[in-house]
């Protein structure tokens, strides 16, 4: 048995023991290791380091190929740990995850600030109501809510609606994704959008088809500029 395996077994046993002895203690949201009961601490040092390794820095986080958006800015590379965090947000409404991901999102926003310009309105990418009924959560809303607090930019959560449900885009080609979400979004009240520089917020940017479709609807409703800021980039 190698030293690494022994070490891993030891760690696992320790984790189990901690969970039995101190069930009330804070746990790492990823590996379940015990954590000090401090507010806002949701990852252990090891998982935090893994998250830091996913952070996209500098030009890496800026993506200009998503017409009609000015720029798409992403904080983290989509990987095992970021995927697990996003799923906690999406399926469990874990808002402490939104707080954690917002650290990288603020850094990415600062990097993209010159291209985004002075955003006047934050708008979360909406989920279709059937998805909200099924899951109970719109992950983009949680992220937008935290970002509006950090950046001091007002949010209009109901500016956009997803007017029709779209089947999962996973595994589809870029063109198929674009077609699937084309005209899926609509602006509810033009007055909220007109003349504004809008910053869209979403959890993951994959092909960019969803963000582009939202951007089109917002520009049609009179927004002057639209950019998107996401937690992850697939
Ligand atoms: Zn951990």
Give the model's pLDDT for residue 196.
97
Separation CA 64–CA 16 (nearest Å): 47
Ligand 1 centre distance from Cα of residue 19 (Å): 14
193 and 106, same structural domain?
yes
110 and 35, same structural domain?
no
Q: Could you tell me if residue 50 is inside a domain?
A: no
Ligand 1 centre distance from Cα of residue 43 (Å): 5
214 and 146, same structural domain?
yes
102 and 8, same structural domain?
no
Range 95-117 burial, b when 16+ CB lie within 10 A, else e: bbbbbbbbebbbebbebbeeebe
CB-CB contact of 126 with 162 (8 Å)? yes
Q: Could you tell me if residue 46 is inside a domain?
A: no
Q: Could you tell me if residue 226 is inside a domain?
A: yes
Q: Domain count for the chain, please give it.
A: 2
26 and 64, same structural domain?
no
Ligand 1 centre distance from Cα of residue 30 (Å): 5
Q: Could you tell me if residue 48 is inside a domain?
A: no
The parent domain of residue 125 ranges over 56-233
Separation CA 88–CA 26 (nearest Å): 16
Q: Could you tell me if residue 51 is inside a domain?
A: no
Ligand 1 centre distance from Cα of residue 2 (Å): 22
Q: Could you tell me if residue 145 is inside a domain?
A: yes
Q: Could you tell me if residue 112 is inside a domain?
A: yes
Ligand 1 centre distance from Cα of residue 71 (Å): 33
In tens digits, what is the pLDDT along the chain, a chain of 234 residues?
455 667 767 766 765 665 566 655 688 999 999 888 777 889 999 999 999 999 998 888 999 999 999 999 999 999 999 999 999 999 998 899 999 999 999 999 999 999 999 999 999 999 877 777 777 789 999 999 999 999 999 999 989 988 877 767 677 787 777 777 778 899 988 999 999 999 999 999 999 999 999 999 999 999 999 999 999 999
Q: Could you tell me if residue 49 is inside a domain?
A: no
């Amino acid at each position: 048995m190698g030293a690494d395996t022994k070490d891993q077994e030891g760690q696992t046993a320790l984790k189990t023991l901690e969970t039995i002895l101190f069930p009330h203690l804070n746990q790492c949201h990823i590996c379940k290791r015990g954590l000090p009961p401090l507010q806002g601490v949701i990852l252990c040092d090891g998982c935090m380091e893994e998250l830091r390794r996913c952070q996209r820095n500098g030009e890496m986080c800026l993506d200009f190929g998503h017409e009609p958006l000015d720029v798409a800015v992403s904080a983290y590379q989509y990987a095992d740990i970021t995927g697990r965090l996003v799923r906690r947000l999406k399926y469990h409404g874990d808002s402490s995850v939104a707080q954690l991901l917002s650290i990288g999102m603020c850094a990415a926003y600062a990097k993209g600030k010159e291209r985004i310009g002075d955003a006047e309105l934050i708008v979360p990418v909406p989920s279709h109501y059937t998805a909200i009924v099924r899951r109970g959560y719109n992950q983009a809303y949680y992220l937008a809510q935290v970002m509006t607090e950090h950046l001091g930019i007002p949010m209009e959560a109901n500016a956009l609606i997803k007017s029709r449900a779209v089947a999962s885009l996973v595994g589809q080609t870029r063109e198929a994704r674009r077609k699937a979400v084309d005209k899926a979004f609509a602006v509810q009240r033009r007055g909220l959008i007109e003349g504004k520089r809008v910053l869209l917020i979403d959890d993951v940017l994959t092909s960019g088809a969803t963000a582009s479709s939202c951007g089109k609807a917002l520009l049609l409703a009179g927004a002057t500029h639209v950019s998107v800021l996401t937690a992850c980039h697939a």
